[in-house]
Amino acid sequence: MSSKETQTDPKRSKKIAEEEPKSTKNVTTQTTLEVKPKPAQPAAQLIQKILDCQFEIFGIVQGVSFRMYTMRRAEKLGVRGWCMNTPRNTFTGQIQGYEPAFEAMRLWLEHTGSPTSRIDKCIFGTTNILQEFTFDSFTIRNE
């Protein structure tokens, strides 16, 4: 055997290393990636208030599709509760919703209503904070 044959050829060693199976090479060179969670937000920011109140509206609010428009607006906003016409020719009900939707519904009841209605006065009862909804949806009740 010549001295040339016993010496390791650097080019041959490099070629052998490249021919190693990929799976063996990957196992020996794995890198662990540590993912840090985002800091937790305060619980107050995650929990929205559920607000509830009763209302009565005076003016031209019967015979002008006020109930139907109210139900559509409530469903669009995600507000729950009920509404109905009264024998005194007023319109009454109860609304429940997360604060932004609840406030939008109050403004709509007080200032907008159905297209052909006329709102002279709107009285809202005490606004209560609920732990959970007491209605599953918004409904129209019969007188």
Q: Is residue 11 part of a domain?
A: no
Q: What are the pLDDT digits (tens) for 48-68?
A: 899 999 999 999 999 999 999
Q: How many domains does the chain have?
A: 1
Q: Is residue 1 part of a domain?
A: no
Q: Which of 67, 73, 80, 106 is catalytic?
A: 67
Query: Where residue 61 sits, what CATH number does that domain have?
Result: 3.30.70.100
Q: Is residue 9 part of a domain?
A: no
| Beta-carbon contacts of residue 83 (< 8 Å; ≥ 6 apart) | 66, 67, 70, 71, 91, 92, 93, 138, 139, 140, 141
Sign of the CA dihedral with 141 first, then 98, 54, and 130 last: positive
**Cα separation, 5 vs 7, whole angstroms:** 6
Q: Is residue 16 part of a domain?
A: no
Closest CA to 95 of 142, 62, 47, 51: 51
Closest CA to 109 of 42, 63, 54: 54
Q: Is residue 31 part of a domain?
A: no
**Whether residue 67 lies in the annotated active site:** yes
Q: What are the pLDDT digits (tens) for 6-35?
A: 555 555 555 555 555 555 555 555 556 666
Q: Is residue 32 part of a domain?
A: no
Q: Is residue 119 part of a domain?
A: yes
Q: What are the pLDDT digits (tens) for 58-109?
A: 999 999 999 999 999 999 999 999 999 999 999 999 999 999 999 999 999 9
Residue 108's domain spans which residues? 44-140
Q: Is residue 10 part of a domain?
A: no
Encoded amino acid at 117, one letter: S
Q: Which of 80, 85, 118, 142 is catalytic?
A: 85
